[in-house]
Amino acid sequence: MDYAKLVSRNMPAEVRSHPGIAADTDYVFSVTYTDLDQMPTTELADSLRALMPSEGAALAKYPPPQGHDGLRDLIRQRLSENRGIDVPLESIFLSSGAGGAISTIVDAFIDPGDTVLAEEFTYSGTLNMLLGHRANVVHIPTDVDGMDPDALEDAIKSLNARGIQPKMIYSISVYQNPMGITMSEERKKRMVEISQRYGVPIFENESYADFYIDGDPLPPAMMGMDDQDGVMYVSAYTKLLGCGLRLGYAVAPEPVMDTLRKLRFGVSPSHLTSMAVYGYLSEHGDEYIPSVADSLKTKRDTMMAALGEHFPPSCKWSQPNGGMILWGELPEGANTWDALDAAIQAGVKYNPGAMYRADGEGNNKMRLTFSYHNPEQIREGIAILAGVFESQGMFDNA
């Protein structure tokens, strides 16, 4: 049977990905896995067990189209208390991770040739979905306060002058992946103004908002600043409670919900998982979230100290106040894409910067994650990585 001839014409376009990212290594600094030292496996099971007598019978049926009501209500309360987002329950739907919600929104709105504006480097999963839909992704210059609003406005004006209306502005506004930046409140307000002035919706991804470590409190989400149905929002409990739980959510204004209802919302998560997460977070969320922050602080500081010890000062690292990611810039000419094979041979994985750009630029940039391993493993892995980079001549221009 020749399946190659039968493949659908709707198959996504090829996207750029390093073959090494799937390799099995001892030290994984390439994925924002859940903090294994904090993950509450026993308590999650206990919460589920406690809910089964009252909620277990619901598993005989298919879950409600937008997901578990109790969990959605908890999300509604938490968004109002922590992110300045006040929405009714009907505006929230659960999805298979943040990725499931992103995929649903991209499917609903992106046609081949559409233009999407994004930060200078942006999360490779969304980038791949957009490129898979043959979108034109335009990266906007981004500094320590987030996407530059003047550059954003100039880009929209110049696209409009060529008859192109961008479909959306995609922004990871908190502990940005991969750059680690948090957009300032003033910038967020300007982003919302620009979105409203030019009629380009914002697609805001706050997947890391639960991971405040230190510094100023987080500014509210752009969704709470907008009064014109101009922001769609996604986040998840994957990073917080377990990537394998596949539990995320989206918040969308009614006109978007209307469209998504036709697609029957994100690939829905298991109702059993939703019950466990609901039970656990309602009971333990207020203690668990700060305990993850404490652990991430130790891991971030350990990784930064190890980088300071083993890498030359010409390598610059971000200093994030939260999240799970460090963003690095190596000397000009260093190629993190090419060096990944040698690093994998030595047992360490990271993500090359070029994975986060539609044009594959950024070869001297890289992303490291500090959430999964314990401090001792972090120290070991970073020392090995520095040795590999040195032997690959990556510091030669230092």
Ligand X SMILES: Cc1ncc(COP(=O)(O)O)c(C=O)c1O
Q: Where does residue 275 fall: left (phi above 0), alpha (psi -120 to 50 degrees), or beta otherwise?
A: alpha
Binding segment (CB under 6 A) for ligand X, from list 194-202, 223-231, 235-243, 326-334: 235-243
Residue 122 and residue 363: Cα distance in Å, rounded? 14
The half-sphere exposure of 104 on its side-chain side, counting CA atoms within 13 A, is 31
Question: Nearest approach, Cβ of 246 to ligand X (angstroms)?
Answer: 7
Q: Which residues, listed in sequence order, are joined to residue 368 by a DSSP beta bridge?
A: 326
The residue among 99 and 279 lying less far from ligand X, judged by its C-beta, is 99
Residue 314 and residue 355: Cα distance in Å, rounded? 22
Question: Nearest approach, Cβ of 102 to ligand X (angstroms)?
Answer: 6
Closest CA to 318 of 123, 176, 173, 122: 176
205 binds ligand X (CB under 6 A): yes
C-beta neighbour count of 6 within 10 angstroms:
7
The residue among 66 and 389 lying less far from ligand X, judged by its C-beta, is 66
Binding segment (CB under 6 A) for ligand X, from list 50-58, 97-105, 129-137, 311-319: 97-105
Binding segment (CB under 6 A) for ligand X, from list 95-103, 267-275, 355-363, 389-397: 95-103
Q: Which residues, listed in sequence order, are joined to residue 142 by a DSSP beta bridge?
A: 147
Residue 171 and residue 231: Cα distance in Å, rounded? 11
Q: Is the distance from CB of 244 to CB of 117 less than 8 angstroms?
A: no
Residue 280 and residue 71: Cα distance in Å, rounded? 10
Question: Nearest approach, Cβ of 383 to ligand X (angstroms)?
Answer: 25
The residue among 96 and 295 lying less far from ligand X, judged by its C-beta, is 96
Question: Nearest approach, Cβ of 76 to ligand X (angstroms)?
Answer: 19
18, 28, 30, 32: which one binds ligand X (CB under 6 A): 32
Pairing of strands 231-236, 202-205: parallel
Long-range pairs for 76-82 at CB < 8 Å and ≥24 separation? 78/285, 79/221, 79/251, 82/209, 82/218
| Binding-residue total with ligand X (CB under 6 A) | 14
Residue 86 and residue 223: Cα distance in Å, rounded? 9
The residue among 36 and 398 lying less far from ligand X, judged by its C-beta, is 36
Binding segment (CB under 6 A) for ligand X, from list 66-74, 137-145, 236-244, 275-283: 236-244
Site string for ligand X, 65-84 (x = CB under 6 A): --------------------
99 binds ligand X (CB under 6 A): yes
Q: Name residue 23's amino acid.
A: A
123 binds ligand X (CB under 6 A): yes
The residue among 242 and 311 lying less far from ligand X, judged by its C-beta, is 242
137 binds ligand X (CB under 6 A): no
Residues contacting 331, CB < 8 A, separation 6+: 314, 315, 364, 394, 395, 396, 397, 398
85, 92, 98, 200: which one binds ligand X (CB under 6 A): 98
Site string for ligand X, 158-177 (x = CB under 6 A): --------------x----x
Report CA 56 to chain centroid distance, whole Å. 32
Q: Is the distance from CB of 368 to CB of 29 less than 8 angstroms?
A: yes
Site string for ligand X, 237-276 (x = CB under 6 A): -x----x----x----------------------------
What are the backbone dihedrals phi and psi of residue 104, each rounded to the nearest 5 degrees, phi first? -65, -45
Rg (CA), the chain: 21
The residue among 32 and 115 lying less far from ligand X, judged by its C-beta, is 32
Task: Give the tokens for residue 227.
Answer: 């009064």
Environment class of 195 (CB within 10 Å of its CB; exposed 0-12, middle 13-18, buried 19+): buried
20, 63, 67, 97: which one binds ligand X (CB under 6 A): 97
Q: Please give the C-alpha separations between residue 84 and each of 10, 176, 212, in angstroms, as whole numbers.
A: 39, 19, 16
Question: Nearest approach, Cβ of 31 to ligand X (angstroms)?
Answer: 7
Site string for ligand X, 284-303 (x = CB under 6 A): --------------------
Question: Nearest approach, Cβ of 124 to ligand X (angstroms)?
Answer: 8
Binding segment (CB under 6 A) for ligand X, from list 92-100, 109-117, 189-197, 360-368: 92-100
40, 70, 125, 220: which one binds ligand X (CB under 6 A): 125
Residue ranges that bind ligand X, judged by CB under 6 A: 32, 97-99, 123, 125, 172, 177, 205, 207, 236, 238, 243, 248
